[in-house]
Structure 1
Amino acid sequence: MSYKIGLDVGSTTIKVVVLDTQDNLVYKSYERHRSRVREMALEKIQSLKELLTGHHLRIAITGSAGLGMAKESGIDFVQEVYATAGAVRQYVPSTDVVIELGGEDAKIIFLKGALEERMNSTCAGGTGAFIDQMASLLNVDLAELDRLSLAHDRIYPIASRCGVFAKTDIQPLINQGAQPENIAASIFQAVVDQTIAGLAQGREIEGNVLFLGGPLSFLKGLQERFIKTLELDGESANFHPLAPYFVALGAALYSKGLSGYRSYDELEQIFTQVLAAPQEVQGMEPLFADEQEYQDFCDRHAATAVEQRDLSAFSGRAFLGVDAGSTTTKTVLLDEDYHILYSDYVNNLGNPITAVKRQLDEIYSQAGPGLTIAGAAVTGYGEDLIRAAFHLDFGVVETMAHFTAAKHFDPAVDFIIDIGGQDMKCFKIKDDTIDDIVLNEACSSGCGSFIETFAKSLGYPITEFATLGLFAKHPVDLGTRCTVFMNSSVKQAQKNGATVEDISAGLAMSVVKNALYKVIRARSADDIGQNIVVQGGTFLNDSVLRSFEKELGRKVVRPAIAGLMGAFGAAIWAMRNAGSQSTVLTAQQLAAFTHQSKATVCGICTNHCNLTVNTFSDGSRFIAGNRCERPVTGKKADVQLPNMVAYKYKKLMSYTGRPGPRGQIGLPMCLNSYENLPFWHTFFTELGFEVVTSGRSTKQMYLKGQNTIPSDTVCYPAKLVHGHIRTLLEKGVKTIFYPCMSYNFDESISQNCYNCPVVAYYPELIKGNVPMDGVQFIYPYISLNDKKIFEQKIIKYLNEYGFALTKKEVQQASEKAYAAYDAHRADICEEGMRALRFAKDHHKKTVVLAGRPYHIDPEINHGIDKLLSSLGFVVVTEDCVANLANAPQTNVLNQWTYHARMYNAARYVSHAPGTELVQLVSFGCGLDAITTDEVRDILRESDKLYTQLKIDEIDNLGAIKIRLRSLLAAMDEREKEHAN
């Protein structure tokens, strides 16, 4: 008998199949290898001894982790896509499209027509590893995640481009009490969206679709989301029973064409030699030279301990602090002398309410009759929910809680870095107030969950894993990379013989480097500060702390309660602001405490916020997910603060068309339309067209066009263009006008007036990627700077499409269009001045919300302007104040109109009392990498704060709210300092 063996070594699993002479499957296995690739390969061959002995054997290796093994063994390697295509042709020849999700790999293979493959390259979002991470976040296994998803009744928008983005969306939902069934289904929907938008990249997924890979074989909820999203039926969606093994099957089929046979003994010897082969060991300097150096290190940091007192024997006033973090809940109870009476640090397991209730129960059970809780404060992601649930007295923004705690240990502190599970907060202190705040917004590779994820994947509890690296001989240099790439680096290090100890130390060093160079972007230790306090649970890891000190070359203060600092600071805050008795639930009230949550959608305004309504046993409610107070109060705020973002957007949305003799012309409400709609709307209306716009941006509109997006790295405003074009097509518009515009209007504030390249030339990309059969898509290259040249060119372009325009009517329409644009800009400036006067007359703080014109779109800015209003800020935009300051000297070539406005706005803010600037940056914007440094430098020249908010399709404002509340707190502290 002749057998063909296919060995598929993936990023997380190893699959083996054996085919007989007639290509019948006689053996299959699917197991996780946990990075024991060589060991398991040999074990699989040895387990097949009885089946394979005495037969002629051919074998081929495939898979993302199989190439190295193939080279070491001399066995033929077949590329995954080729193997998959071969298996599909053999077993399901009617297939048009293959979607395969593996552990860290995801791919789409288009078989209809020319063979084409799209594969993830820089991110494992939307793969099995991503789903594993999300299940861990919900504290369930994959089977339970799948079961939960099938019972959902609502889908939340969750990003899957990266596990970090997804956590940013999911954690607040958990903290707000969202149903786990809905979160589970939303996770699967995120995987589907990532596959369509990130992998298909503009090509239609249609015809017969074959789904392959472990996740798509075992997770029924994921199958359901794919079927519904792609609108497939039972015939066109194929979930083959051998789906997890198709790549291995393809390798086995490929081996048919190989010359020569091997015996079982030969195979066993080959894999034995591969396992025994010496591996290269490379490493960095150890963290500690010996046990004594480590002991000295421990003794130095132990000096910052806080004295503990016996709660059962205590009598008097005490103060409670709760830190409801992203993954953990911390509680501290202090007496009036700052002694700790009780403390606890637990993983909240996705349910912070249960964690806090248990901690309060424990306090009441331990306390004697003389305890009086005089004040209680809460900070962290779950602040609002926990305060409402347990009737705590105060809510404290995280940055102020941590600053308060740090000052207790070092009154001269000038830099604080707090690294938690997935959050990092860094702030510089100047004149005893917070001078600059940096939070990680896009990456958690410098945070505790980064190490915890690896510890779990290697089978270690985090506490044990953290100590393994202390005396590693050769710490692995993993650099400053994201979690996805780090997975590959760790696996490669293991293949090269690195020990778990080496990997533990290397990961600790990587966390520090990511924090310093990717988040803080420090150039030297002097950029950080002289008196540094480190805190957060991650710094309880001595390997991380030692790495931090070695990297900076200086000693820092780590309080012995580093993991409790948020709660400690909240307790101090409660002490300083307490009355005679706290409103926190008593032991009797706690015994009767219940909590229920229900998901709903707010219909009061066009935001349609996904709300979670939490109801407690005393009848009180807490509503989460709202961007304004109307779902809570049922009415608008009594005093409407000026908000130029909302004003500008409402003004643009007021442009409506009227029937005209020349029929309809469609204008997509995207990118350059936010600036030029008044011009084009007036121009075409005057020419006799009925102008039809695509209307408001929505998540649903984005989903309409996501399968035509050819790049997963372009900014969200650009991705939305596809949905706007599709909306115009659905409206039946037969002519769409969307010009390419290299230049903006020249406002004489910069050396040139270029448009961002994406804004300027995106119509070209739309033409090539969005099918528009029977529709005229007009996308001329136009500049509006010279009226005469514009008139000459536009009549030529439009008449080429058969409109028969006369020179006179184009000139008349042009005259009115330029006048309409000027009037629109003048109105914006005038309204901006009214807003500034209002702020001055009513003693209100002002934020200049600076960005691009499209950042006024609520779907793009996610209601950040309304959040600022709810915090008491008057909101103006950069173009309202750009003409109120002279152009600053910049360190780069100032040739982009919208950036020049931001520079001018920053200069204005530099000298405006009670005013700060917040810059919105869309992920994927290359130009803003330059503007952010320039804006920051201009503001810092006058000791102003710089706040940058990175936004994308993620619409949860949890982290952003912390940033803005921190900004407000810093402004308040500065006002107090100046008053004194």
Structure 2
Amino acid sequence: MTLLTFPKLFAKPRSAEVVRPERKLRIGIPRVLNMWSTHRFWTTFFVELGVNRRSVVYSSETSEARQREFGQGRAAVDCCYPVKCMTGHYGELLHGLKKPINVLFSPKITTLPSILQGEVRNTMSCPRVLAGAESTKAGFLREGNAFADAGVIYVDPVVHLDEPKLAARELFEALDPVLEDLTPEEVEAAIEAGFAALEEFDTSLRKQSLNVLRNCAADSRPAVLALGRPYHMDPGIGHGIATELQEAGYPVLWGQYLPLEEDLLDWLYRDLLSAGRIRTPFDISDIWPSSHSSNTNELLWAARYASLMPWIACVIRFSSYECGMDQPTYTPVQETVEALGTLFFAFQDLDATNPAGSVRIRVETIDYYLKRRAQKIIEQKLAALDTPPESFSNLGSIKDAAQ
């Protein structure tokens, strides 16, 4: 059982051999914020527009060294640590690459595609995340135009990623001055290909998560679920906590990539559906009626999933600072996770001042409680469910043993 190592997943996707116009530009994209969950869309989008896949480049993972080298003196006054870290990514793309870029592309993603589409009020990005490109750009215009000095065109369109037709218009208007002979039809086709690639990417990770849970079931061992925003997959933002837990022997799943097999969801949510508490397995209206924020919605949904899934014995909650959007979710997330006895731990205020020693102590504490209580948690949660679905192998005997 292995940890999903998200930095490696920024690798370029394979694509079919098709004839497309060649555009000899290097596109630099900061590896920040919601780019951690949408990067496969953007890579495919630009490749479909004729940019060589090797010429779609991302900045490195977040680190204090990168921030000091490339972002010093540029950071805007902002309480959001992940937004402040954007200056290091911009600076690296402008000054830290062996081969310079022609375009720095930093979309202001307003809304996001979501598995909860149709079950929630909206799928909006956090306002601070949305404005992050603006505040970061200001730091590079404070003492002259750093983009122009580097010979780089800066492109930061507002993009509604949950509305493909609107996104096509927004991206065409932003890129028409940059990409020669661009047509609306090309952009629409590239968006369609981008969404197909993103869906394939997400599905592959969900299958990996399913295999992890199958292995946990076969061995009757616990897994840990990480709940956070997409940027917490960045080791520099998430402080490598997931890796520490993996090294302690616990497979780590992420709330963004939980398996969605129909028989599995029916097994987990059957009682809630029968009682009329929810309409579908993706309905969170009974625990989170104020469902406007995409990341928050999915965080609440994953919290309930973890509370029901027997082999998720522990949930860790990430927060980078006292985020205004996250504040109202702390209690309902914890109460939801702990409803059937699942362990819950929160790592709050994860910023540059958080020492590695304190993280290690917390991981040791999680390890201690999992060793003492994981098997009982698995048995209790199995006892509350019917016979496991066919997508899991040899689980009937496990449930019988638990009872």
TM-score computed with the length of structure 2 as normaliser? 0.76
The 8 Å contact of residues 23 and 179 in structure 2, kept in 1 or not, is answered as: no
Aligned mates of 1:650, 1:737 — CA distance in 2: 21
Partner of residue 20, structure 1: none
For residue 722 of structure 1, give the secondary structure of its aligned residue in structure 2: helix
Aligned mates of 1:976, 1:784 — CA distance in 2: 42
The answer to whether residue 122 in structure 2 is matched with residue 725 in structure 1 is no
1:852 is matched with which residue: 221, 226, 229? 229
The answer to whether residue 185 in structure 2 is matched with residue 819 in structure 1 is no
Q: CA deviation at 1:672?
A: 1.9
The 8 Å contact of residues 687 and 810 in structure 1, kept in 2 or not, is answered as: yes
The answer to whether residue 266 in structure 2 is matched with residue 900 in structure 1 is no
Q: Structure 1 residues 670 and 975 mapped into 2: Cα distance closer, same or farther (>3 Å)?
A: closer
Q: Render the CA deviation track for 1:894-931: whole Å, top value 9, x for unaligned.
A: 22111222211111221222421111111242222122
Aligned mates of 2:361, 2:25 — CA distance in 1: 50
The 8 Å contact of residues 916 and 944 in structure 1, kept in 2 or not, is answered as: yes
1:922 is matched with which residue: 305, 313, 320? 320
Q: CA deviation at 1:942?
A: 2.2
Q: Render the CA deviation track for 1:821-880: whole Å, top value 9, x for unaligned.
A: 111111111111111112222332110011111111111112111210122211100022
What are the ranges of 5 or more consecutive residues in structure 2 without an aligned counterpart? Answer: 16-20, 141-145, 270-280, 380-401
Aligned mates of 1:709, 1:775 — CA distance in 2: 20
Q: Render the CA deviation track for 1:311-351: whole Å, top value 9, x for unaligned.
A: xxxxxxxxxxxxxxxxxxxxxxxxxxxxxxxxxxxxxxxxx
Summarize the alignment of residues 4-403 of structure 1 with structure 2, pairs less than 5 Å apart. Answer: none
Q: CA deviation at 1:655?
A: 5.8
Q: Structure 1 residues 802 and 902 mapped into 2: Cα distance closer, same or farther (>3 Å)?
A: closer
Q: Render the CA deviation track for 1:178-236: whole Å, top value 9, x for unaligned.
A: xxxxxxxxxxxxxxxxxxxxxxxxxxxxxxxxxxxxxxxxxxxxxxxxxxxxxxxxxxx
Q: Render the CA deviation track for 1:750-781: whole Å, top value 9, x for unaligned.
A: 32101111221211112222132242111111
Aligned mates of 1:745, 1:917 — CA distance in 2: 24
The 8 Å contact of residues 701 and 720 in structure 1, kept in 2 or not, is answered as: no
1:650 is matched with which residue: 2, 5, 8? 8
Q: Structure 1 residues 661 and 973 mapped into 2: Cα distance closer, same or farther (>3 Å)?
A: closer
The 8 Å contact of residues 906 and 935 in structure 1, kept in 2 or not, is answered as: yes
The 8 Å contact of residues 750 and 896 in structure 1, kept in 2 or not, is answered as: no
The answer to whether residue 101 in structure 2 is matched with residue 702 in structure 1 is no
Aligned mates of 1:882, 1:902 — CA distance in 2: 15
Q: CA deviation at 1:806?
A: 1.8
Partner of residue 953, structure 1: 352
The answer to whether residue 144 in structure 2 is matched with residue 745 in structure 1 is no
Q: CA deviation at 1:727?
A: 0.9
AA at the equivalent of 1:661 = R
Aligned mates of 1:786, 1:968 — CA distance in 2: 43
AA at the equivalent of 1:675 = S
Aligned mates of 1:655, 1:765 — CA distance in 2: 31
Aligned mates of 1:673, 1:908 — CA distance in 2: 24
TM-score computed with the length of structure 1 as normaliser? 0.33
For residue 243 of structure 2, give the secondary structure of its aligned residue in structure 1: helix
Q: CA deviation at 1:696?
A: 2.9
Greater Cα radius of gyration, structure 1 or 2: 1
For residue 736 of structure 1, give the secondary structure of its aligned residue in structure 2: strand
AA at the equivalent of 1:740 = K
Summarize the alignment of residues 434-453 of structure 1 with structure 2, pairs less than 5 Å apart. Answer: none
Q: CA deviation at 1:946?
A: 1.8
Q: Structure 1 residues 802 and 678 mapped into 2: Cα distance closer, same or farther (>3 Å)?
A: closer
The answer to whether residue 171 in structure 2 is matched with residue 772 in structure 1 is no
For residue 905 of structure 1, give the secondary structure of its aligned residue in structure 2: helix
Partner of residue 273, structure 2: none
The 8 Å contact of residues 833 and 880 in structure 1, kept in 2 or not, is answered as: no
For residue 85 of structure 2, give the secondary structure of its aligned residue in structure 1: helix
Q: CA deviation at 1:966?
A: 2.4
Equivalent residue pairs, number: 336
Q: Structure 1 residues 909 and 650 mapped into 2: Cα distance closer, same or farther (>3 Å)?
A: same
Aligned mates of 1:656, 1:695 — CA distance in 2: 21
Q: Compare the two structures and name the one with the higher strand fraction.
A: 1
CA-based RMSD of the aligned residues comes to 2.6
For residue 662 of structure 1, give the secondary structure of its aligned residue in structure 2: coil
The answer to whether residue 104 in structure 2 is matched with residue 736 in structure 1 is yes
Q: CA deviation at 1:678?
A: 0.6
AA at the equivalent of 1:671 = L
Q: Structure 1 residues 963 and 943 mapped into 2: Cα distance closer, same or farther (>3 Å)?
A: same
Point out which structure has higher relative CO (alpha carbons under 8 A, 6+ apart).
2
Q: Structure 1 residues 891 and 848 mapped into 2: Cα distance closer, same or farther (>3 Å)?
A: same
Aligned mates of 1:828, 1:924 — CA distance in 2: 30
Q: CA deviation at 1:649?
A: 2.7
Partner of residue 58, structure 2: 693
For residue 706 of structure 1, give the secondary structure of its aligned residue in structure 2: coil
Q: Render the CA deviation track for 1:361-413: whole Å, top value 9, x for unaligned.
A: xxxxxxxxxxxxxxxxxxxxxxxxxxxxxxxxxxxxxxxxxxxxxxxxxxxxx
